[in-house]
Chain A
């Protein structure tokens, strides 16, 4: 088996942003390799395999055998879900004909059109779809790096980190302090940190009612801010202290050994601390040479990268325009991409790109809110067309209906991703 770990040395030679032409290779069926089995990658693999009906070889590279969705992981922290409720396997994708490889992609050679895996294998592709999610920017929070993630978990890739954070919250002494260091824009799931605060507050209210929550935030405002602040005042009165950038929330360092957080010069002893650092595209996008800064710029019509027309980037890792980084967005982008990739490889009809997103958040029991929008592809970016957001002061009935709708969405998107 060929092992090719050459580092890609430039972008100009391989740059191609021409309109897709029908594949005319001489090595049997066209091959698509998808890296990353989350909302973008699993959906893209499933749709290409399903709709091409065996005409395209689809390989999905994903290290984990059970994928825990980041969306709804906050509900696990709040006690509304078990960890198994948000875990999914790839068995149905395999049954559909997707070649599921549980390994790490560690390199991309765009001139040879190959992906190298940590296990030693090399995969050839005609079209490569990268959906690696996020990694963290080195040095983003003074005192924190990945070696300290067990003392101060990020819990922003769901699974063991989420379980660890929950255990640390449960172990807080009565009247203890939970701190969150919130991320700067742009980051995965804009309402996510604030839904998490709501869910931690819900847990503490029931189990540790004199505990306090401190949020150090480098931003002056955040997604669904009025809705969350209304909910915190109503349900968790006196518990949540949100410190925005105007009050020094961005001037933060942590000491994971001493379990202290310094906010604008004031040292605070904490009992549990969730550090969510600044984010960037998952590393394989960088290794493939398709990033510009922290993210991978893409063409809105099909999610192909600006750097290479045969390499696509979906979801959080992409820099596409107006869509928030969310599982819903990645799922939506994946279906546009799958249609375009299939068209390029088999000549099937390619339809115009349409995108949409909705993000639901749970504030307290049966108290759900949502924000959403539709988007279209322009020459410059994915551009917002129309949108809506829940209102403050809504009835309990409407909030409950919104929460129940979010449960329906979770069932819908996970069956759309994993079959």
Chain B
């Protein structure tokens, strides 16, 4: 149920932020494998990698035109980043940023951002 709700949020966000024509069916159907979800991220590495995020996404969770990414649960964070990495979800910056991250690095970021309120 959470994924369905989250997919809806993704659709709204994509429309609002990237303005691109996401294939919502693909995004809604996108699933992350159990193996990827099982990776335990290193929050210290995540904190370092987060430097690549906080140049745009504010660390205090404020929204001024770019969505907040703080305080997400790990599964939702990994799902969102994997959907960009695997180019299911549209956005040129995010596809580029997620595209160069390994599954372990995405898990590390998720572990770190979950700790931020």
- Interface of A toward B, CB cutoff 8 Å: 47, 51, 328, 331-332, 335-336, 339, 349, 351, 354, 356, 358, 370, 372-374, 385-388, 395, 397-402, 404-413, 415-416
Contacts and interface: CB of A to CB of B under 8 A. Distances in A.
B93 A358 contact: yes
Interface string B67-81: 000000000000000
Contacts, number: 99
Given A374-B100, A388-B96, A356 B19 contact: no
A415 B60 contact: yes
Contacts of A407: 64-65
A51 B44 CA distance: 11
Contact of B55 (A336, A385, A404, A413): A413
B3 interface: no
Contact of A372 (B51, B66, B93, B100): B93
Contacts of A395: 19
27 contacts: A331-B55, A332-B51, A332-B55, A335-B52, A339-B48, A349-B45, A351-B48, A356-B52, A356-B55, A356-B96, A356-B97, A370-B92, A374-B97, A386-B100, A388-B96, A397-B19, A401-B16, A401-B18, A407-B64, A409-B66, A410-B64, A411-B58, A411-B64, A413-B55, A413-B56, A415-B58, A416-B54
Nearest to B16: A401
A47 B51 contact: yes
A408 B56 contact: yes
Interface in B21-68: 44-45, 47-49, 51-52, 54-60, 62-66
Contacts of B57: 412
Contact of A354 (B52, B54, B96): B52
A136 B39 CA distance: 51
B86 interface: no
B66 A349 contact: no
B12 interface: no
Given A411-B58, A412-B66, A372 B49 contact: no
Nearest to A399: B19
B17 interface: yes
A412 B17 CA distance: 15
Interface residues of B, number: 31
A413 to B, nearest CB: 5
Contact of A335 (B17, B45, B51, B63): B51
Contacts of B19: 395, 397-402
Nearest to A394: B19
Given A47-B51, A405-B17, 17 more contacts: A351-B48, A354-B100, A356-B97, A358-B56, A374-B100, A386-B96, A388-B95, A401-B18, A405-B65, A405-B93, A408-B56, A408-B66, A411-B65, A411-B66, A412-B54, A412-B64, A416-B54
B92 A388 contact: yes
Q: Among B45, B56, B92, B93, find the residue whose CB has the most chain A CB atoms closer than 10 A.
A: B56
Shortest 9 CB-CB contacts between residues of A and residues of B: A408-B65, A408-B66, A335-B51, A401-B19, A411-B64, A398-B19, A388-B92, A407-B65, A412-B56
A387 B92 CA distance: 9
A395 B100 CA distance: 28
Nearest to A400: B19
A413 B62 CA distance: 12
A372 B94 CA distance: 11
A211 B64 CA distance: 35
Nearest to B48: A351
A388 B87 CA distance: 14
Contacts of A339: 48, 51
A386 B98 CA distance: 11
A416 B96 contact: no
A388 B47 CA distance: 26
Q: Among B19, B52, B55, B65, find the residue whose CB has the most chain A CB atoms closer than 10 A.
A: B55
A370 B91 CA distance: 12
A331 B62 CA distance: 19
Contacts of A405: 17, 65-66, 93
B95 to A, nearest CB: 8
Contacts of A415: 58-60, 62
Q: Among B44, B54, B57, B65, find the residue whose CB has the most chain A CB atoms closer than 10 A.
A: B65
